[in-house]
Amino acid sequence: MSADPWQLLDDARTVLAVHAHPDDESLSTGALLASLVAAGTRVVLVTATRGEEGEVVAGAIAPEDTRPLEEIREAEIAAATAALGLAERHWLGTAPALAPGAAERRYRDSGMQWLRAGLAGPSPTSGPDSFSHRPLEEAVADLVALIDHVGPEAVIGYDDEGTYGHPDHVRAHQVTAAACARTGTPLVQIASEIEAAPASPAPGEGAAIARREHPGTAAAVRRAVDSYRTQLTVVGEVPGGLAIRHVGWQDDVVALATGLRVQP
């Protein structure tokens, strides 16, 4: 297996991206997925939860709209993935992302709280049906079923820090790493920090991070990110990315570049 994550993706006919909530696919991999689609790669998305515990931007939902938040977020992810040009999207726990013979199951958003700037932790109110608390083997079996169904040459997932520590992201990494090991599918990890990669990692460190920019993806990424009106506000374009403000008033930049490493 190649140690170069970009070579793995460049050679892949089909890539499966695994994410925890609606909007994660656009915020952390929007430019990457759009660039893969533009290159002719079949990109399939699986999302673990429907983001039921997310806060909502004031005024984002009309007073007469009585749909539960998960239905609104389902509509948002449909618009976002269409903007990125993805071939398919699935919910973990719903066929074909469901273990053979299992009854359909829904993994609920675990919620989160900020432990410090840039680092999230579990919500004290997350229940036993939340993604981070459900049995790990259930989710692994569901993802294995989807990998067998889709047949990707590579899977894109989080690193072991879950990009910023959200418990659902950490669990998504655990599930994806286990499913890829079980199926023999290469796992390409989204690095927690985008940085230029050294020729080789320093002794004791993990695999080196390889960074690539994605020119020509800004318009698609902006349409995708702007689909999530309940979760964020697009502020404008900045060099190398898109400035946004999260529902909790944290300012952030959606980068038009990605740092990747191969799961050791």
SS (H, E, C) the chain: CCCCHHHHHHHCCEEEEEECCCCHHHHHHHHHHHHHHHCCCEEEEEECCCCCCCCCCCCCCCCCCCCCHHHHHHHHHHHHHHHHCCCEEEECCCCCCCCCCCCCCCCECCCEEEEECCEEEECCCCCCCECCCCCHHHHHHHHHHHHHHHCCCEEEEECCCHHHHCHHHHHHHHHHHHHHHHHCCCEEEECCCCCCCCCCCCCCCCCCCEEEECCCCHHHHHHHHHCCCCCEEEEEEECCEEEEEECCCCEEEEECEEEEEECC
CATH number at residue 184: 3.40.50.10320
pLDDT attached to residue 116: 64
pLDDT > 60? residue 201: no
CA dist 35 and 7 (Å) reads 14
Are 242 and 221 a contacting pair, CB within 8 Å? yes
CA dist 241 and 254 (Å) reads 5
Q: Which of the pair, 163 or 4, is modelled with greater confidence?
A: 4
Tokens 């997925």 correspond to what residue? 33
Domain range for 88 is 5-262
Nearest to residue 185, comparing CAs of 36, 28, 18?
A: 18
Q: pLDDT grade, residue 202 (50/70/90)? A: very low
* Whole-model pTM over 0.85: yes
Cis amide leading into 96 (omega within 30): yes
pLDDT attached to residue 196: 38
Mean pLDDT of 106-114: 84
Q: What is the pLDDT of residues 185-194, one digit of tens each?
A: 999 999 875 4
**Minimum mean pLDDT range among 65-79, 118-132, 160-174, 236-250:** 118-132
pLDDT attached to residue 208: 84
Domain count, the chain: 1
Q: Which of the pair, 164 or 71, is modelled with greater confidence?
A: 71
